[in-house]
Amino acid sequence: MTKATHPPFRRALFALIRQQPIRYAWAQFLWISIWTMPILVGLITARFFDQLVDGTEVTSLLVLIAATFAYAAGRSVFIMLGMRNHGSMLFRGSAAIRRNVLQRIYELPGASPVSESPGEIVSRFRDDVEHVILPFDLSVDIAGAGLAGVLSIGILMTIDTTITFVILIPVAMVGIVAIQTGSLVRRYRTKARETTEAIAGFLGETFAATQSVKVAGAEANMLARFTALNDERRTMMVRDRTLTAVLEAVFRSTIYVGTGLVLLLAAGRITTTGGAGITLGEFSLFVFLLGIVTDAAYFSGMFVARAKQGAVSFERLTSTLRGDSWRRLFERSELNLDSEPPKPSRQTHEPEPFERLELVGLSYTYDGTDAGIDDVSLSVGAGEFVVVTGRIGSGKTTLLRAALGLLPVSSGFILWNGERVEDPEVSMAPPRVAYTPQVPRLFSMSLLENLVLGDDIDEEVLDESVYIATMTRDIEMMPEGLETLIGPRGVRLSGGQVQRSASARMFTRRPQLLVLDDVSSALDVETEKVLWERLFAARAGVATLVVSHRQAVMARADRIVVMDRGKIAATGTAAELQQTDETFRAIWDGTAGAGGR
């Protein structure tokens, strides 16, 4: 895995350009044309005024009016094409970054894909991506404005070198101010993003724990914390936006002062008799092109400031990749914006018959603790029902997560039918394995969408899975059946319904190995009994690996594995372990805690 680095932000801009080279080249052509076309108007206007003063034949007014309308129509077409292409280019760039970040998160170990809270991640997806795209947006204007400014200065140099050099003074001042304030811009933007992310993270966690807050009577304390975070964010956002506004004002004011000085110098040198000085047409050309030069300077200053701010967001997005290269942000992604997106497909062919899963010497330790598993080996054969049990913190859940590739083990390996599994996170998934965690996650969609998760599930398989999970009666009582919206994280369902819905989702995959982590903890004894009876009746011979401390489950087990302090302490049937293992007897009698990791 490539070590995360933070290269100069210009490399991120070049990567965005390489992501869409044709659209970017087309954008450059259009906006360079849009920026440089007014120079032609300035030259025509200058010629017109010189003709008026010289008394030579003046171009027909009707011709000038027609030419003006033709120019306006032509430039409008270019602007329309430019905006259409530009909007598409920026959207594709930001959408690709978001897709790449999300794809990277899905690639990370499923038990700990990110260290930030959901609210903080949403803040990065929403705001930091936009702050990276903004300098990319301005880069097109910089090219067009810069070329137009250089051409304008070249034309003005042919008229009066001294006045043209005076024009360059405010332009240089804008550049100096932009560079000198760069570190301050960066520092303020970093603080503003950090405080915004803190608010988003706090809100995300609060909304997910509203019940806990109310039960603890901590509403006032939570509001006070929210107020404190808001005050801190307000202070930093005011500083950040004030600095940006001040810089814009300084850039504009510097340009305006320079413009006034230039006009005073030029007006004093107007001549209508020829010889030294500048003609009325040349003066009008100075006035006209001066606006183009000053706009180029303004956009250059703003580009430098936005690039400093964008660099902060670029580094924050890179850190979200958890060790992958920053280049991952800008990989080309097929977004299917111009066509119907392809339907997701899952492996449809039947995998080779399942014979045995073997875990050999698996070890994993949680960062900053000594908790985890150490050199654990066990196996599950075809048709076996294996139960893992133990006290709280003994490593039961950690073992399942490590076996499924959801945690990156420090040592050990996995064998499937005698062959080593090189990428457990990919291989230990349907149609081989399906998993229901201790705390299932449902989405704010319909119950049906939660069960199929985008897959094309046969209706007969779906009905059978719902039946096995004992959800048939519950669905009949719902106002819209399977189409009923269940709210964020399934909030409209009871704890038992959430667990049974997650179980039904697992059953629809018809895997060769079922892995369940204390899935019946929120079920009453009778419902649990029915669930297991229906499962074994409908899926006779399916291999099952279960974490549980329930007597009804352990009594059914072909083999029970007792965990203690991250190791296997004992193995055997329920009858055998009652005679030989003190820890198991305590679990069987209900005198030992058996939840958690």
Convert the pLDDT of each residue in 202-211 to its tens digit. 777 777 677 6
Give the confidence band of 377 by pLDDT, cuts at 50, 70, 90.
very high
Q: E strand or H helix at 516, and its extent?
A: strand 513-517
- Kindly report the backbone phi and psi dihedral angles of residue 557, in degrees, each rounded to the nearest multiple of 5, phi listed first: -65, 140
Percent of the chain surpassing pLDDT 70: 89
- Residue 188: count of CB within 10 angstroms of its CB: 23
* Cross-strand partners of 270: 278
Rg (CA), the chain: 34
Residues 329, 97: contact at Cβ < 8 Å?
A: yes
Q: Sign (positive/negative) of CA torsion 240, 244, 249, 254?
A: positive
C-alpha torsion angle, residues 383, 385, 386, 390 (rounded to 10): 170
Give the confidence band of 2 by pLDDT, cuts at 50, 70, 90.
very low
pLDDT confidence of residue 30: 93
Residues 525, 464: contact at Cβ < 8 Å?
A: no
Residue 485 three-state SS: strand
Strands lying side by side in the sheet with 543-547: 433-436, 513-517, 543-547, 385-390, 559-564, 567-572
Return the closest-CA partner of residue 567 out of 320, 329, 371. 371
Residues 4, 318: contact at Cβ < 8 Å?
A: yes
Convert the pLDDT of each residue in 90-117 to its tens digit. 999 999 999 999 988 888 777 667 777 7
Break the chain down into helix, strand, coil percent, rounded to 5: 60, 10, 25
Percent of the chain surpassing pLDDT 90: 31
Choice among 151-160, 228-237, 377-386, 483-492 with the minimum mean pLDDT: 483-492
* Mean pLDDT computed over every residue of the chain: 84
Domains of the chain: 9-330 (1.20.1560.10), 356-589 (3.40.50.300)
What Cα–Cα distance (Å) separates residue 530 from each residue in 437, 470, 477, 481, 520? 20, 7, 19, 22, 11
Q: What is the DSSP string of 396-425?
A: HHHHHHHHTTSS--SEEEEEETTEE-S-HH
The C-alpha atoms of residue 10 and residue 412 are separated, in whole angstroms, by 43
Residue 579 contacts by C-beta under 8 Å, 6 or more apart in sequence?
A: none
Return the closest-CA partner of residue 407 out of 457, 454, 378, 373. 373
Give the confidence band of 3 by pLDDT, cuts at 50, 70, 90.
very low
Q: Sign (positive/negative) of CA torsion 183, 188, 189, 194?
A: positive
**Residue 485: is its pLDDT beyond 50?**
yes
Average pLDDT over residues 310-334: 89
Convert the pLDDT of each residue in 329-354 to its tens digit. 999 877 776 666 666 555 555 678 89
Convert the pLDDT of each residue in 285-300 to its tens digit. 877 888 888 788 878 8
**Residue 596: is its pLDDT beyond 70?**
no
* Cross-strand partners of 197: none
pLDDT confidence of residue 24: 94
Choice among 76-85, 519-528, 566-575 with the minimum mean pLDDT: 519-528
State the burial class of residue 46 (Cβ atoms within 10 Å of its Cβ: 0-12, 13-18, 19+).
Answer: buried
The C-alpha atoms of residue 88 and residue 80 are separated, in whole angstroms, by 12
**Residue 358: is its pLDDT beyond 90?**
yes
Convert the pLDDT of each residue in 4-45 to its tens digit. 456 789 899 999 999 999 999 999 999 999 999 888 888 877
**550: number of CA atoms within 13 Å, CB side?**
20
Residue 196 contacts by C-beta under 8 Å, 6 or more apart in sequence?
A: 123, 127, 233, 237
Residue 566 three-state SS: coil
